[in-house]
Amino acid sequence: GAVVSQHPSRVICKSGTSVKIECRSLDFQATTMFWYRQFPKQSLMLMATSNEGSKATYEQGVEKDKFLINHASLTLSTLTVTSAHPEDSSFYICSARDRRGTGGKETQYFGPGTRLLVL
């Protein structure tokens, strides 16, 4: 099966600092990656769609200047939380779409997630 990795798995930082999270597709190429956020006991919330070589598309209410997304290659996308605050503490999960599927049959595979705690 397709494997997606995320790094780091857990990060604790001080308020005001920036945190970078990496998402990699290990055994397939992903033209599209997605970034989600999940608060405790709540469902996944899509933050943005990241396309290789182009600007990310952000969901309504997600600040693009705060959550910087870079999708520099077919296997790597990064999410940078800038000037993090305690309310940004959450579980951040990326997923990658396997481009080998076509016609609506693309499957998304999730990374293991990054737990961010901002003090």
Partner 1 sequence: QKEVEQNSGPLSVPEGAIASLNCTYSDRGSQSFFWYRQYSGKSPELIMFIYSNGDKEDGRFTAQLNKASQYVSLLIRDSQPSDSATYLCAVKGTSGSRLTFGEGTQLTVNP
What are the phi and psi torsion angles at 29 (to 5°)? -95, 135
* CA 34 – CA 4 distance, rounded (Å): 12
Note whether 62 binds partner 1 by CB under 8 A: no
What are the phi and psi torsion angles at 38 (to 5°)? -140, 120
Per the CB < 8 A criterion, the answer to whether 59 and 48 are in contact is yes
Q: What is the DSSP letter of 103?
A: T
Q: Which of 113, 93, 99 is nearest to 27 (CA)?
A: 99
Number of residues that bind partner 1 (CB under 8 A): 21
Note whether 113 binds partner 1 by CB under 8 A: yes
Q: Which stretch binds partner 1 (CB under 8 A): 19-27, 67-75, 81-89, 110-118?
A: 110-118
For the segment 29-48, give every residue that binds partner 1 (CB under 8 A): 32, 34, 43-44, 46
Minimum distance from CB of 16 to partner 1 (Å)? Answer: 27
For the segment 67-106, give every residue that binds partner 1 (CB under 8 A): 91, 93, 97, 103-106
Q: Which residues of this chain interact with partner 1, rule CB under 8 A?
A: 1, 32, 34, 43-44, 46, 49, 91, 93, 97, 103-113
